[in-house]
């Protein structure tokens, strides 16, 4: 069974069994991540929901607990958009931090790229625009996502898109600022973020460029086993770097231009606001 956020992880640690959880009924564990378990559940009215529980071994970890709760609060602030996962409630029940969201059957974009039964090519324009509009909404609400990547984009079989996972999101600063902590996935992090320099919303724009490049070419633009190797390839772009159309000539020239601008190592050379990028994407993909 294919489920929200991925396939069931069979290595359940056994701490939680299906059954009542406050007013909810836990039905099936559908994914285990680094910080939380995700359950298929039913609410008191019998409707299916996705219920996320902070891993029990992290309940005394102040950083993880704070990050989980902060992610819930950001989602509560930004979820009123058709391309962002819908928030229901969050809180503390039975000593466990939880988040309840809408449930949609689908795959994350990373899985969709290798799923033979899903015609990703027919959906790609919709995915690129909808995920950019979701990120635009996050920025307009005053936040940076800071973990934008294919694993955090849900795609249903009819092409609906939902942006997920706001655990690393932070308020969008008026001017670039240094992050106290710098978690994330190096392959999608902007050069300024990898170097510990000041960042703003344009780090998300860079991450979008990496995602778009990857989904269109089936490979990452800057490959490496370590953060320093990835950073080197981001900044010193010699013959190792290939433009998207060098790999996939079916990509429209105008779309390649948008992606390359998003991938500029200097944030001042990227789009100043993602709304500008969304406009260019629509011009390219609606032709």
pLDDT beyond 60 at 25:
yes
pLDDT beyond 80 at 6:
no
| pLDDT bracket for residue 15 (50, 70, 90) | low
DSSP summary character for residue 43: -
Give me the percent of the chain exceeding a pLDDT of 70.
94
The residue among 54, 16, 48 whose CA lies nearest residue 33 is 54
Active site residue 147: yes
* Per-residue model confidence as pLDDT tens digits over 114-165: 887 778 888 999 999 999 999 999 999 999 999 999 999 999 988 899 999 9
What pLDDT is attached to residue 20? 95
The residue among 5, 260, 279 whose CA lies nearest residue 129 is 279
pLDDT beyond 50 at 258:
yes
The residue among 3, 1, 49, 259 whose CA lies nearest residue 155 is 3
The three-class DSSP label of residue 2 is strand
Catalytic residue of the set 147, 165, 167, 200: 147
| pLDDT bracket for residue 251 (50, 70, 90) | very high
* Per-residue model confidence as pLDDT tens digits over 187-217: 999 999 999 999 999 999 999 999 999 999 9
Note the pTM of the prediction, 2 decimals: 0.91
Q: What CA dihedral angle connects 33, 17, 2 and 115, to 10 degrees?
A: 40
> For residues 198 and 178, what is the distance between their CA atoms, to the nearest angstrom?
4
Domains of the chain (ranges; CATH) run 2-102 (3.30.200.20), 107-285 (1.10.510.10)
């Amino acid at each position: 069974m294919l489920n929200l956020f991925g396939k069931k992880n069979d290595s359940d640690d056994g701490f939680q069994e299906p059954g009542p959880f406050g007013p909810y009924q836990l039905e099936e564990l559908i994914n285990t991540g680094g910080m939380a378990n995700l359950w298929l559940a039913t609410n008191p009215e019998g409707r299916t929901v996705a219920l996320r529980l902070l891993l029990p071994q992290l309940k005394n970890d102040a950083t993880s607990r704070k990050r989980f709760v902060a992610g819930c609060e950001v989602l509560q602030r930004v979820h009123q958009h058709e391309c962002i996962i819908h928030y229901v409630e969050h809180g503390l029940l039975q000593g466990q931090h939880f988040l309840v969201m809408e449930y949609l059957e689908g795959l994350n974009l990373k899985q969709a790229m290798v799923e033979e039964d899903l015609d990703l090519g027919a959906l790609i324009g919709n995915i690129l625009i909808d995920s950019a509009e979701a990120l635009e909404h996050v920025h307009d609400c005053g936040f940076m996502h800071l973990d934008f990547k294919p694993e955090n984009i849900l795609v249903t079989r009819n092409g609906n898109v939902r942006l997920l996972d706001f655990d690393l999101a932070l308020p969008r600063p008026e001017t670039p600022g240094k992050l106290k902590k710098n978690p994330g996935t190096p392959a999608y992090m902007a050069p300024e973020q990898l170097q510990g320099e000041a960042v703003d919303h344009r780090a998300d724009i860079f991450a979008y460029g990496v995602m778009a490049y990857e989904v269109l070419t089936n490979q990452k633009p800057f490959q490496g086993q370590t953060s320093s190797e990835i950073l080197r390839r981001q900044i010193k772009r010699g013959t190792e770097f290939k433009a998207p159309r060098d790999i996939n000539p079916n990509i429209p020239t105008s779309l390649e231009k948008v992606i390359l601008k998003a991938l500029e190592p200097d944030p001042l050379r990227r789009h100043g606001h993602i709304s500008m990028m969304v406009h260019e994407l629509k011009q390219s993909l609606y032709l």
